[in-house]
Chains A and B, each alone.
Chain A
Amino acid sequence: MAYIQLENLHKSFGGKVVLDGMSIDVERGESLVIVGGSGSGKSVTLKHIIGLLRPDKGRVVIDGNDITTMRERELNRFRRHFGMAFQEGALFDSMSVFENIAFPLRRHTKMSQAEIRARVEECLEQVHLHGVDTKRPSELSGGMRRRVGFARAISLKPDILLFDEPTTGLDPVISDVVAELIVEMDQTLNTTTVTITHDMKVAFKIADRVAMLYKGRIIEEGTPDEFQRSQDPIVRQFIEGRAEGPLTAGDEQHGRIERRESMRTDS
């Protein structure tokens, strides 16, 4: 049985269908990258895996546990298995870098002050950051903020790492640095990793398997090599980044979800 199973997920926001029967399995230790255009439902998929959103229909099963039927408190406990790195880092701006990374340790472990300090340093080491622990998130560059976000995500030694658009808005060089960091973390920490991105270069670099999401469904999946050889016209257009093709012939109906709608499902 696969470690993470998404089964036939359906999700709409105020009549807009975002996920429309999406299914995919992720094996333990695997690095899956889900690619897709803006508004294809990538972020929504990721939020379903960690239970920030609940599906209208379908199931999310993690290591045999159906998290869609879990109560909020149970789910909260279960989330300790996850580390999630958010798009812009989502660091707590009222705290220093050190406090950000120490936050989950203080809340969920009985570590002493010295142990916490050691663990935070270890996490910063893992993302190759030095001498930033007293800085505030607002004093950091975009790339550094992401890396601090990564460090916070791994501090509780999670089994599953989720990356939400890890390289969006970074220059190509820093993007590559971040992509390499993800590969390195995936290998040294022995985690199951799910990344969503629209950057194909990054996707091919970090993926064991790539899947493409289009109109709320997975339309193609395979190893990076298989994916690159795909003959699907939609996939071809996306990989090659052309303006003309089936992707752009369609509509933007799946567009951005209204925040307000997503709030309603927020339990």
Chain B
Amino acid sequence: MKIFDAIGRVFLRVFEQTGLWFDAFWRTLTSAFRPPFDISEWFRQMVRLGVNSIPVVFLTTMFTGMVLALQTYNGFQRVHAEQFVGSVVALAMLRELAPVLVGLMVTGRVGSSMAAEIGTMRVTEQIDALKALATDPMQYLFVPRVIAGIVMLPFLVILGDALGLYGGYLVAVKLMHANPVVYEQNTYQFLDLNDMWSGLIKAAVFGLILTLTGCVRGYYTTGGAEGVGRATTYAVVSASLIILLSDFFLTKLLF
């Protein structure tokens, strides 16, 4: 019987969390269009999420582009298809790797800190204090963060795209002695503007997922410092999982 009990609990939890997430999504959406608009807070969050994430994005995407070129060059050499390395790197970076890697890295960097920050506000009664000061905490805390996620992730991904392509170029040309002109030609030959757009749409969706999950996990924190720690972990784990799952469905949809 115990096992059914446990399964039931897991299901209840999943449904509860899903419900809370969509409830928060709806309330954030509706309150985003209602005054007061804390524009300065929006920008503060954009800087925190976007600008401050540039170093992480820089290293992650650049090295991914580099290793991708290295690996495919190695493999493609065996079937004498080196000329496709540029195309593979470009397609993989733009459509898939840049959005997902940037999404996961920003989840670790920013989603976690949002959960910790809002969770601490919860356990120290600052959320109640916001309400007591006639302020809707979801509007005040969630809206600027979610907007920052939706707006800034695509920009980070554009940066990531460029760096990934450049990393691939560096390895292929400098390390593998590919012909730079041919490599560049191959990079853009099979590339479509839609490849970039699909990556950017994904990025915006991931931005929504990682910020809202961080906020919701923090908002419903229970049980002191330990609870804040738990909220932070769950925020990163669940946001990462949702990003990876939704990535498949988005790809299917946007193909």
Contact = CB atoms under 8 A, between A and B. Distances in A.
B134 A263 contact: no
A86 B122 CA distance: 13
Nearest to A155: B133
A185 to B, nearest CB: 17
B126 to A, nearest CB: 5
A263 B132 contact: no
B241 interface: no
B129 A92 contact: yes
Interface residues of A, number: 31
A259 B125 contact: no
Contact of A259 (B117, B120, B222): B222
A101 B156 CA distance: 36
A263 B132 CA distance: 16
A110 to B, nearest CB: 11
Nearest to B126: A90
A93 B129 CA distance: 12
A104 B133 contact: yes
A3 interface: no
Nearest to B138: A72
A80 to B, nearest CB: 5
27 contacts: A52-B128, A52-B131, A52-B132, A73-B136, A76-B136, A86-B128, A86-B129, A87-B125, A88-B125, A91-B129, A92-B121, A92-B126, A92-B129, A93-B124, A93-B126, A94-B117, A103-B133, A104-B135, A107-B36, A107-B133, A107-B135, A108-B134, A152-B133, A153-B132, A258-B222, A259-B222, A259-B223
Given A76-B134, A86-B132, A107-B133, 15 more contacts: A50-B131, A52-B132, A72-B136, A76-B131, A77-B134, A80-B134, A86-B128, A88-B124, A90-B124, A90-B126, A91-B126, A91-B129, A92-B129, A259-B123, A260-B222
